[in-house]
Amino acid sequence: MRMRFFSTFRQATLLAAVGLGCFTTTSCVAASTVKSDSAGALDEPVPIPPSERSLPAVIAEPYFKVSNEGLNLEGTSFDLRGNLLFVEVFGGRVFSLSPSRKLTTLVAPNKYGSAGLAIHKDGRLFVAGLGNFKDTGSLVTFSPDGRELQTVISADKGFLVDDLVFDANGGFYFTDFRGSTTEPTGGVYYVSPDLKTVTPILPHLAAANGVALSPDGKTLWITEFSKGLLHRVQLSDATTVAPFGTAITYQFTGPSPDSMRVDSAGNLYVAIYSQGRVLIFNKMGIPIRQILIPGRQQGHNLLSTSMAIKPGTDELYIVANDAKGGRGATVFRTKALAKAVLLYSHQ
């Protein structure tokens, strides 16, 4: 049974209360219940901003408990076998969650500070790393089994590589997480398909974080973590911004836009770090929907960081953690507005 979006929090609450939201042919897991008289209340630990309270909302459902610890998960991606891969930032590990919900560790703990992950068409894992979170970020690749390591962007380059997305030719864009609101030294760069040339695309950003590419490859989306901005960049080609092609389409309220994904219709999904939710924008950058993580009303599961749509489906998987709140790190699931975009890894 498909989960449907409803136009008010009260309707979304009624949906949760009656337990709709089936994801298998044999069982139906009840959605988290939120009291209808307090949904979206302004006295919550992290209230929904007034300008977004009327957006249609749906409540995601717990899918898999990764850990009882508040591991900071990131970089959600699906491989060709349907495994959901993601990284653990402070420990550097890469995890694989099988369709049967078996969790394995592909890459052991390390010092790379893994923050983003994308999969090459040849199966290699491209892992963005923040290093020491100051000046030793890197981008490395692992073989599909996590054993063979190669360096693409070395730590001595000074980047804090946070996230990446492939284009149709096998080159990729990555975000540089450096900078602050008063010293915007981060940016977005493009690495050529041969992995030899790095070209700046949009410099002078305050901790550039998420990056996504429209289905036609002509629109680049970027979140600026420290300033709370959503950038929409029109491209003439892989390394050239179109004339008058840059725009800030949205200013987020409160903390802070994180990783992003697009669907096959061009809708954009932005995880909101420290708010326990995902905002959905249309292809023009206008907010149209939102997804709420269970427990957010009580201040739990607020560190929502990343998501992925399972190829060939409209199933959306979100990773979030509860920091020190006692509920650990969890994968949540709901429905996207459209099926997954065709990723470079699946071409």
Tens-digit pLDDT profile for residues 78-95: 999 999 999 999 999 999
User: 75: which residues sit within 8 A by CB, 6+ positions away?
Assistant: 85, 86, 87, 114, 115, 116, 117, 118, 127, 128, 163, 259, 306
Q: Residue 33 pLDDT more than 70?
A: no
Nearest Cα neighbor of 317 from 303, 341, 329, 335 is 335
Q: Residue 248 pLDDT more than 70?
A: yes
- Per-residue pLDDT, 28: 32
- Per-residue pLDDT, 44: 86
Q: Contact at 8 Å (CB) between 60 and 333? A: yes
Copy the structure tokens of residue 161.
Answer: 């590589």
Percentage of residues in the chain having pLDDT higher than 90? 87
Q: How many CA atoms lie within 13 A of 231 on its CB side?
A: 28
- Per-residue pLDDT, 15: 40
| Coil/strand/helix, residue 95 | strand
Region class of 312: left (phi > 0), else alpha (psi between -120 and 50), else beta: left
Say how far apart CA 171 and CA 165 lie, in whole Å: 9
In DSSP terms, 330 is beta-bridged to 65, 320
Q: Residue 3 pLDDT more than 50?
A: no
Question: In angstroms, what CA-CA distances link 210 with 14, 44, 213, 260, 273?
Answer: 33, 27, 11, 5, 11
CA-derived radius of gyration, the chain: 19
- Per-residue pLDDT, 43: 78
Domains of the chain: 53-346 (2.120.10.30)
What's the mean pLDDT in 4-25? 38
Copy the structure tokens of residue 112.
Answer: 């790379």
- Per-residue pLDDT, 303: 98
Q: List pLDDT tens digits, range 122-181.
A: 999 999 999 999 999 999 999 999 999 999 999 999 999 999 999 999 999 999 999 999
Q: Residue 258 pLDDT more than 70?
A: yes
What's the mean pLDDT in 250-255? 96
Say how far apart CA 185 and CA 203 lie, in whole Å: 7
The residue annotated as part of the active site, out of 163, 176, 258, 263, is 258
Say how far apart CA 322 and CA 300 lie, in whole Å: 5
Active site residue 145: no
